[in-house]
Amino acid sequence: MPSALNLLTSDLRRLANPEKARVLSGFFKTGKGQYGEGDIFLGVVVPLQRSIARKYAALSLRDVSILLSGRIHEHRLVALFILVNSYKKADEEGKREIVDFYLGHTKHINNWDLVDLSAPNIPGDYLRDKDRGILYRLAGSESLWERRIAIMATFAFIKDNDFADTLRISKLLLHDGHDLIQKAVGWMLREVGKRDRHSEEDFLDRHYRVMPRTMLRYAIERFEEKKRRSYLGK
C-alpha cells in the first residue's frame, strides 16, 4: 500500500498544469542567478494545494521534512500548509514542537509566498506572548528568506495592534538592498498605518530620507495623493 507521502505527491502530479507551471516559473524568478533559481513548479493553484494539505493533515513531521527539502515548489508549500493547520490545532507543547521544526527548516522556506503564508501563522503567532529575540537574530541573517521571515512574522503582532517589534525590525532592515525585503517592510509599515496612521507617519518622518524608494512606495500606497506626493517629493 502506498505511503501517505507517496499518495500526496501523486495527487499533486495529477493536478499539474504545464502551462501554469511555465508562467509561475517566470513569476517566481527561477532563472539562473535569480532568487528562486532551481525551483520547479508543477502548476498547481493554491486553493488546490490547500485542499491537498487538508486531505493529508495527519502527515508526520518526518514526511513534512521530506516534502520541504525537495525542489518542487508545491511540495514545500503544501508542507507548510500542513504545518500551519497542525499548529492551529496543537496544544502548547505541540505548537512549540512545530515552531522549533519550522525554525530548523528555514533554508527550505525559500520563496516569498512560502514565507508570507507561514511566518505570521507559525512563529509570529507563537511569539505573540513570548520573547521575540529570535526575530532579531533572523533579521540580522545573511539569508534573504530569514530576514523576510523576521519582518513577516510581525504581521501577527500588528493584528493585535502591537507595533513595536514591526517598527524596530523595520529600522534594522531599513538599508537592506534586496527589493523583496524592501517590499515586505513597506507592506508591514502600511499594515501598521491601516490601524494607527500616527505610528506609521512617525516612523516615516524619522526615516523617509534614507528609505529605499521601493520600501517608501509600498509604505505610503494607501495615503491620499497629496500626502503621497509630499513624501515622494521630499
In this structure, the number of other CB atoms found within 10 A of the CB of residue 31 comes to: 13
CATH of domain 119-234: 1.25.10.90
- 9, HSE (Cβ side, Cα atoms, 13 Å): 16
Q: What is the DSSP secondary structure assignment for residue 109, as one 8-state letter?
A: -
Q: CA 120, CA 107: separation in Å to the nearest integer?
A: 17
**SS3 call for 111:** coil
- Boundaries of every domain in the chain: 1-103, 119-234
pLDDT tens for the chain, residues 1 to 234: 789 999 999 999 999 999 999 999 999 999 899 999 999 999 999 999 999 999 999 999 999 999 999 999 999 999 999 999 999 999 999 999 999 999 999 999 999 999 999 999 999 999 999 999 999 999 999 999 999 999 999 999 999 999 999 999 999 999 999 999 999 999 999 999 999 999 999 999 999 999 999 999 999 999 999 999 999 986
The pLDDT of residue 234: 60
Residues present in the chain in total: 234
Q: In this predicted model, what pLDDT tens digit does every residue of 42-55 receive, in sequence order?
A: 999 999 999 999 99
Is 1-103 assigned to CATH 1.20.1630.10? Answer: no
User: What's the pTM value of the predicted model, to 2 decimals?
Assistant: 0.96
Q: CA 185, CA 36: separation in Å to the nearest integer?
A: 20
Instruction: Tell me, yes or no, if the two domains 1-103 and 119-234 fold the same way.
Output: yes
CA 32 vs. chain centroid, Å, equals: 22
- Cβ–Cβ under 8 Å, residues 11 and 40: no
Which residue(s) pair with 72 in the sheet? 40
Residue with cell 494539505: 53
The pLDDT of residue 215: 98
Q: In this predicted model, what pLDDT tens digit does every residue of 2-57 receive, in sequence order?
A: 899 999 999 999 999 999 999 999 999 998 999 999 999 999 999 999 999 999 99
Residues 6+ apart with CB under 8 A from 202: none
C-alpha cell at 204: 516615516
In this structure, the number of other CB atoms found within 10 A of the CB of residue 9 comes to: 23
